[in-house]
Every structure is written in C-alpha cells, then in structure tokens.
Structure 1
Amino acid sequence: MIELLFLIKLAVAITFVIGLSFLAENVSPKVAGILSGYPTGSAITLFFFGLEVSPEYAAKSAVFNMIGLTAALTFVYVYYLASKYFKKYTILWSSVTAILAYFLVVAVLNQIELPKYIAIFIPISFSFLSIYLFKNIPNIGIQTKAKVNFKILFVRAFFAALIILLITTVPKFVGPSLAGLFSAFPTTLFPLMIIIHFTYSKEHVHTIIKNVPIGMFSLIIYSLTISIVYPLYGIYLGTLISFGTATLYLLVYSKIKRYLDNRSHLK
C-alpha cells in the first residue's frame, strides 16, 4: 500500500508540474500562472490526508488550508521582491527568503483559531491585495522555447515529486491545524517558478506570479467545498464535487474576462 501511494504521488507530481511548465512555454506564463492557483498541490495533499488519516481530518485541515493560502501568497510576493533586488544567486536567495517568509506566516497563523466563515475572508482579502500589488507587472510571453530532453524532464519531475512527498508526510507528525497550513504550500507552483526562472528569466516568473492570485480564488473555493463535502460524501465523490466548483469559477472568470476585453476593444 505504501509503495502504491508513493507511485501515485510521484505520477501526479510529474503530471502537474511538467504540464504547467509546457503550458507556460507553449501557451503563456500568464495562463500557467492562473492555472497554478488551481487546486493541484493542495488537492493532492488534502486527498491523501483523507485517505491516510480520515475524511474528517482532511475537512478540518481544509479550513486551515484556506487560511494558509495567505502564506502561499506571501511566498510568491517575497519571491518576486527578492528576485528583483538580488543580483547574484537570484534563484537561491529568492527561494530561501520566500520559504522563510512562508513558514514565518504559518507560525503566526498556527496561533490563531478562527471559525470557517471568518477564515474564508482572510485569503480572499490577501488575494485582492496581491492583485493590486502585482498590477504593474507586465505579462511577458516566451518567444524562444528551450529544447526539452529526457534529462530536463527528469529533473523537473524529481524536484516536484520531492516537494510534494515531503509536504504530504506532515500529518503523521502534527495536528490537523498545522497540517492544513502546511498543505497550502505551493507544491506545484514553486517547482514551476524554479523551472521557468532557471530556463528563461525572472521576468517570465514575474508574469506567472502576477496571475497566481486570480487562480487562487479557485483554490479557496476548492478548500471550502472540501471542508463541507468530505465528511458528507467521502474523499472520492467529495474531491469530484470540489474540483467541479473550482473549475466552475475558472470558467466563469474566463467568460467575464473575455466579455470585458471585447468591450474595451470596441470603445
């Protein structure tokens, strides 16, 4: 059973991170940034919390996952600032400072107990704040794609798998509140940022970062739905329902965005 779970986690990690990196390269970093906020890493983590511990444990963790998204948004903001101002070893220092900022916020949030209806307003407020802070970042596309070989694919897959496997071991050592906060760690986004930063430039990473808060709303909706449906319907049907609500948000957002863009072009 343990070996099977390991293979599942590894396969899912490879699929998500490599898929998003190809999306950034072949469509745009903007689209990859929006979809990186889609419930991928957190969905994996919460699902395995429910599978390995209990649906009730995962549901409670999902509430703290919503709160923990403030730490994830802090992570991308600090990475953005650090990558702007560090001239040497930019990827290393951006990663270190972003991770430290994430765990600092998690440590503070772990001391706070909030009911669900209040918890949901914290990440929503931070998402809107992040959209404002990132509003002047230009959307830059990748003009010349790097050649991807087996070695590059292996490194991308291994790095993503390592992060996800580390985070999904948390519930064995801590309670559901701290585990939920850890589950908000950008397990898919962080490897994507490293891959694009290393392969291309910090400006391309900034484009991803700019669009993360937009996609983050789908993750907020996902975690809220998980907290409600896991105890009622179990982890399998509950996961499908939660993905449905998160997907619905993205479809509605894209339709409204397209409508507003068309109106602006007509003026």
Structure 2
Amino acid sequence: MEVPLFLQVCKLLVSIGVVLGLSLIAERVSTRVAGLLSGYPLGTAIALFFIGLEIGPDFAADSAVHTLAGFTATLALGGGYLLCGRRDGLPGVLAGTVGGLLCWLAASTVLASLAVTRVSGTLITLAAIGLFIGLYRNIPERPATTRGAFSWPALGFRAGLAAAIIFLITGLAHVLPAAWAGLLSAFPVTMFPFLVILHLTHGAAPTATVIKHYPAGLGSLLAYALCVSLTYDRWGLALGTLAGFAVATLWLVAWTRLHASHRRYRRHGRA
C-alpha cells in the first residue's frame, strides 16, 4: 500500500516536534520531568495512529494489545542502555545503543512468542515496572545543565533520528503481523533519540536519571494502549486517540500527585 505524501510529511513533523520538546524540557525544567514525560504516550501514539491511518483501525487496535506487553521490552532497552552506556561521549552512546537494542530484541522475541491478551500484557508490564523501579532506586539524581546555543547540526541529528525511527516502525507494520507491529509500536520512539541526544550533550549521569524515572511514567502508556485497543475499531482513530490521551493524562496526574504526597510524607517522617 502506497502511503500518501501528506501522511509522510505529517509523520515527519510530529516526530521531530515531540523529540525536540523533550530535549528542551530536560534542559529547561528537569531530567526527572523529562523521564516521566518520556513515558507519556507520545511515540506510541504517533506509531499506532499512523498505522491505523495507513493500514486500518482494526489492525491498529489488534497491534495495541501486543503493545501492552511490548513496554516490557522498552524497559529492557533502558536497562541495557544503562548498563552498557556508562561512559561519557560517543563511546558511551554507541555501547549503550548496542546494549539497549540487543536487550530490546531479546525481550521482544520472547514476547512475540506469547499469546498476549489485554489482561496478560498489562500484568507482564506492571510486574516489569515494579522490578525496574526497585532496581533503579539507588541511581543518583543528576540534572542536565544547559550548554551552548542553538546548533543546526544538533537539530538535524535529532530530526533525522526521530523521523527514521517512526518511518521504520510504520513501514514495517505493512509487512509484519499485528503482534510484531504492536511490539514495534512500544519501541521508545521519543525516549531513545532523547537519550542519545542527552548522553552526547550532557553525559551519562543525567541520562541515567531519565532512565531511572522512565518506568514510573509507563502507567500512562499502558492506560493509553489499553484504551485505544478498545476504542479504535469502535469509535475510530480520532475519538479513540482523544480518549486514550484523556485516560493517560488522568493516570499521569494521579501518579504525580501520589509521588509528591509520598515524598512529603517521607520528609515529615524524617523531621
């Protein structure tokens, strides 16, 4: 199926804007907030929406079921990047990328062999979230510091990497079954380029901080994927996407408030 040029341009502009926005948040706000927003349904929403436009809402809804379990592979990618990308600069980025992608591929291969349902996919990822939050609890908080001014090469790199990933995922969805299309939709389209950018410009420590907080934001991704798996073939892509973002936003707000209350309780307890 030939994809119209208009859809290709839309994919390009949306993917570029999201990745650049995450990078600005990390530098201007905090790496913790950027890590949480990396778990917001940005890249997954882009992938599933354009898969639905290009192939069909039914196929996208079926893919979203497998996306629920696919977030476990995304967590594996973050863990592999963290373990292998401990050095600053390009060597650390390359090692982290190789380690992360190998972990993602291994986890995705296992998940693709399972008969995943909405319930089992959600439970698998919830268990993985709890595991990785526990594993990351001792990672120190290291904010990113602003360096340098606007750079056309940096902009081009961010734009090219984001566009390449989203085009690859949506392109492969045309030739792969729904299970693999769903797993690919769970790939961290926005987080991965963001990690590479942050690592190159600020080093391994702030990058580890983003990875540390990424599992906490995955609840909103789960909520989004579960919602669109139920609504895409019934309500259509537009309403299904809006409903998914509404549910994801409610989850993220509730989680943020719960986390803030927990931190206040711990401070008062120590006092």
- Give yes or no for TM over 0.5: yes
Q: In 2, distance between residues paired with 1:261 and 1:246?
A: 22
What's 1:17 paired with?
19
Structure 1 segment 1-267 matched on structure 2, within 5 A: 2-84=4-86, 89-267=91-269
Give TM-score, length-normalised by structure 2.
0.94
Identity between Structure 1 and Structure 2 (%): 37
Residue identity opposite 1:210 in structure 2: K
Give the superposition deviation at 1:153.
1.5
CA RMSD, Structure 1 to Structure 2 (Å): 1.6
Query: Is the CA contact 1:86–1:93 (under 8 Å) kept in the aligned structure 2?
Result: no
Separation in structure 1 between the aligned mates of residue 104 and residue 72 of structure 2, nearest angstrom:
9
Report the alpha carbon displacement of residue 183 of structure 1 after superposing the two structures with TM: 1.0
* Counterpart amino acid of residue 225 in structure 2: S
**C-alpha separation in 1, matches of 2:162 and 2:137:** 28
Unaligned runs of 5+ in 2: none
Change (3 A) 1:87 1:15: closer
Q: CA deviation at 1:32?
A: 0.4
| Contact 1:78-1:98 within 8 A present in 2 as well | yes
Alignment deviations for residues 96-123 of structure 1 (CA, whole Å, 9 cap, x no partner): 1211221121112111113221221001
C-alpha displacement at 1:87, in angstroms?
9.6
Deviates most, 68-77 or 152-161? 152-161
Further displaced range: 57-66 or 254-263: 254-263
Letter in 1 for 2:256: S
When residues 108 and 159 of structure 1 are mapped into structure 2, their CA distance, relative to the original with a 3 A threshold, is same
Q: Which amino acid aligns with 2:98?
A: V
Number of aligned pairs? 267
**Paired AA for residue 155 in structure 1:** F
CA–CA distance in structure 1, aligned partners of residues 233 and 145 of structure 2: 47
Deviation at 1:258, TM superposition (A): 2.3
Query: CA shift at 1:85, angstroms?
Result: 7.2
The answer to whether the Cα contact below 8 Å between 1:127 and 1:214 also exists between their aligned partners in 2 is: yes
**2: distance between equivalents of 1:265 and 1:68?**
36
Q: Distance in 2 between matches of 1:20 and 1:222?
A: 19
Q: TM-score, normalised by structure 1?
A: 0.95
In structure 2, do the counterparts of structure 1 residues 204 and 230 end up closer, same or farther at CA, with 3 Å as the change threshold? Answer: same
Letter in 1 for 2:135: L
Conserved 8 A contact 1:146-1:199: no
Letter of the 1:21 counterpart:
S
